[in-house]
Structure 1
Amino acid sequence: MKKIFTILSLVLVCLLFTACKKNSLKNLTNIGYGTSFGKCIGYCKTNLEVTSAQLSFSKSSNDGRLPKKDCQKTFTASEFEALKALFNDAKITSLPAVIGCPDCADGGAEWISVVIDGKEYKVTFEYGNAPDELKAAVLKLRTLKDGFKDCE
């Protein structure tokens, strides 16, 4: 009887820990996306930060000769929830920090990050070559970034 109770207790503890991991997208508070090009003249770096209330976009040059541009737009909680749905936290948290050779041979780099329970998970990859696990999210984030083309 004691043995069965011990086994059932272990199973219950394992299930509780597994359930917490599955629900961790609820604790995703911030999504980031950006691009950079090392051999570039002009605005070579972009950064998009997404929260449940706002989109924050910035662009800057590599050499600091151009002024940094910052723009914001409102973003609704429902839009943020739809964006969160494109992520599978188990996949992004298990991906390596760097995939391929970002910005090698002047091809540029892209990155995507999420903050879950206060911890940032960031993946950098070759521009235009998102890992399969992130393709849908990257496409949506590119569209959001393109909405700032008029950021002056």
Structure 2
Amino acid sequence: MTKITGIITPKYSALILSFSSCEKINTRSIDTIGYGSSFGMCVGYCNHSLSISENKVTFVKKANSQTSPDTKTCSSTLAADEAKVFKDLMEDSKIAALPKTIGCPDCADGGAEWVSVTTGSKEYKVVFEYGKEPKELKAIVKKLRALSETFNNCN
């Protein structure tokens, strides 16, 4: 039996440090939320990205080759309450604690997806295999995918 007398032993200090290393994103400090997908072995518009800044959403699709059509950009606005939903989901995602790459994104042309958040001078970005988002990002990725699909007719 271990008696604790007010002194933190090495055994407990590692536990305390592991909790303090989790950096949480504050919704008030979020400047931009990003999301995208890409497929390396693809013809046509194979790279899509979405950016939410303030109440503005910008969608960009790019082709993989120079012989394909030009880059297409479309934008729309979000209601303030909808923008807050994205910020809240990003805050809950714990993205700052995740590794920069998860799995083997776009290996064997399985595709890649990514989520990012910019707060002041810091950017946190996580890239993962298409359709295999980490559990910490499931809610925000689901919402970002749905928003991205509203731009399917971006020409």
Shorter chain as denominator, the TM-score bin is 0.7 to 0.9
Secondary structure in structure 1 of the residue aligned to 2:141: helix
Q: In angstroms, what is the RMSD of aligned CA positions?
A: 1.7
1:41 aligned partner: 43
Q: Which of 108, 116, 122 is the aligned partner of 1:119?
A: 122
1:94 corresponds to 2:100: no
- String of CA shifts for 1:15-57, please: whole Å, max 9, x gaps: xxx8xx6572220111000000000011010010011221100
Please, what TM-score do these two structures have when normalized by structure 2? 0.80
In structure 1, the gaps of 5 or more residues are: 1-17
Runs ≥4 in structure 1, deviation > 4 angstroms? Answer: none
Give the match's secondary structure for 1:86. helix
Aligned length: 133
1:24 and 2:26 matched: yes
* Cα drift, residue 116 of structure 1: 1.6
More helix by share: 1
What are the residue-to-residue correspondences of 1:67-146 with 2, within 5 Å?
Answer: 67-88=70-91, 91-146=94-149
Q: What percent identity do the matched residue pairs reach?
A: 48
Which whole-Å CA distance do the structure 2 matches of 1:23 and 1:104 have between them?
30
- 8 Å Cα contact 2:45/2:64 also seen in 1: yes
Consecutive unaligned residues of structure 2, counting only runs of 5 or more, are 1-19
Change (3 A) 1:23 1:113: closer
Q: Alpha-carbon deviation of 1:119?
A: 1.0
SS at match of 2:105: coil
Distance change in 2, residues 1:22/1:105 (3 Å): closer
